[in-house]
Structure 1
Amino acid sequence: MLTDDPGWDSDDVLLRELRGALAEERDVPGHMREAARAAYTWRTVDAELMALTSYDSVLDADLAVRARAAQTARQLVFDAEGFSVQVEVTEAGVAGQVLPARPGRVQLLTAAGPLEEAELDEVGMFLLGPPPPGPVRFRCEVGGTTVVTDWVCV
């Protein structure tokens, strides 16, 4: 038998001990808040952000005028160190290719979350359904690496 029995067999004693423990420090210490912020900042460290650096057919003035007149596809190219994601958006859907070609998956993301995903074929090609109006982005998981494109309105 324990000689240091705190009397926890009584609910009143247990509740009094719990109240005392909770009252000791109500505020989260500053160093813990800083650690939490730092951890949150690094939550997407594995997903390298791909910038729309190479090409957007909407920004090509001559092509944009012809595209609006002919209702043709919008072409986008996203680049990051070692990766390129090329997509063509039409009313029928999204066709794209991830280079260099490796096994993997691509997801079409909206502000509400993932909308659709597809496997990459042997040459890195994928097909997705039509995106909804508004901002979208692509998340690609290729060879153990995850890359995420910028948001773009389609």
Structure 2
Amino acid sequence: MAPERWDDDDLLFEDLAEALRATAPLAQEIAEHAEDALSWQTIDEDLLQAILTFDSSLEPAAETRSDPAESRVLVFTSAPLSMELEVLHDEVVGQILPASAGEIHIETSDGAEYHLSVSESGFFELPSLPAGAIRLRCDTATGRVVTDWVQL
């Protein structure tokens, strides 16, 4: 592809067509990546996903007088909020940290959804839920926290 060929429009267009054919696979790959990025519908939740940083059921049983099976503690950590859950025999209670009022959206593995309010102190109690995994999303003035799916 010498510049002297480009004095002829037909030769110039042939050279341009050849150059474009050579980059077509790269252009297609770039277009696919762009489409994937634009179709990422859950970006806010995925970026705010809290990580399960502690699960008492995975810890060695401590030697205490109480039955270790009586409760389970889960801690989900993210920035700027964290969520702690305590799973008791007949209820699940939790707290948002730092403490503030908010709303909790609960999703169950069977597709049911529940909503509840969080007190100013950040405390809440989950309603009776069907068996299966759940995911919680809490919105406060400070921010949003979304937990991993967890089997209670």
- Fold shared per TM-score above 0.5: yes
Distance 1:75 1:131, change over 3 A: farther
Name 1:134's counterpart in structure 2. 132
- Equivalent pairs counted in the alignment come to 121
* Gap runs ≥5 in structure 1: 1-29
Name 2:121's counterpart in structure 1. 123
Tell me which amino acid in the other structure corresponds to 2:68. Answer: A
Tell me which amino acid in the other structure corresponds to 2:57. Answer: V
Structure 1 length normalisation: TM-score? Answer: 0.66
Q: Is the 8 A contact 1:90 1:130 kept in 2?
A: no
Tell me which amino acid in the other structure corresponds to 1:145. Answer: G
Distance 1:108 1:91, change over 3 A: farther
- Alignment partners' CA distance in 2, 1:110 and 1:99: 23
- Alignment partners' CA distance in 2, 1:133 and 1:63: 27
Tell me which amino acid in the other structure corresponds to 2:151. Answer: C
- Structure 1 SS opposite 2:120: coil
* CA RMSD, Structure 1 to Structure 2 (Å): 2.6
- Alignment partners' CA distance in 2, 1:134 and 1:140: 20
Identity %: 33
Q: Which residue of 145, 148, 152 maps to 2:143?
A: 145
- Structure 2 SS opposite 1:75: strand
Q: Is the 8 A contact 1:137 1:148 kept in 2?
A: yes
Name 1:52's counterpart in structure 2. 52
Higher helix share: 2
Name 1:89's counterpart in structure 2. 87
* Gap runs ≥5 in structure 2: 1-27
Q: 1:107: how far off? A: 2.0
Question: Deviations along 1:77-130, whole A, 9 cap, x unmatched?
Answer: 111122110111224222111011222111222123343221110101111123
Tell me which amino acid in the other structure corresponds to 1:66. Answer: D
Q: Is the 8 A contact 1:97 1:126 kept in 2?
A: yes
Q: Is the 8 A contact 2:82 2:145 kept in 1?
A: no
Distance 1:63 1:114, change over 3 A: farther
Structure 2 length normalisation: TM-score? Answer: 0.67
Q: Is the 8 A contact 1:91 1:130 kept in 2?
A: no
Higher strand share: 1
Distance 1:108 1:90, change over 3 A: farther
- Structure 1 SS opposite 2:61: helix
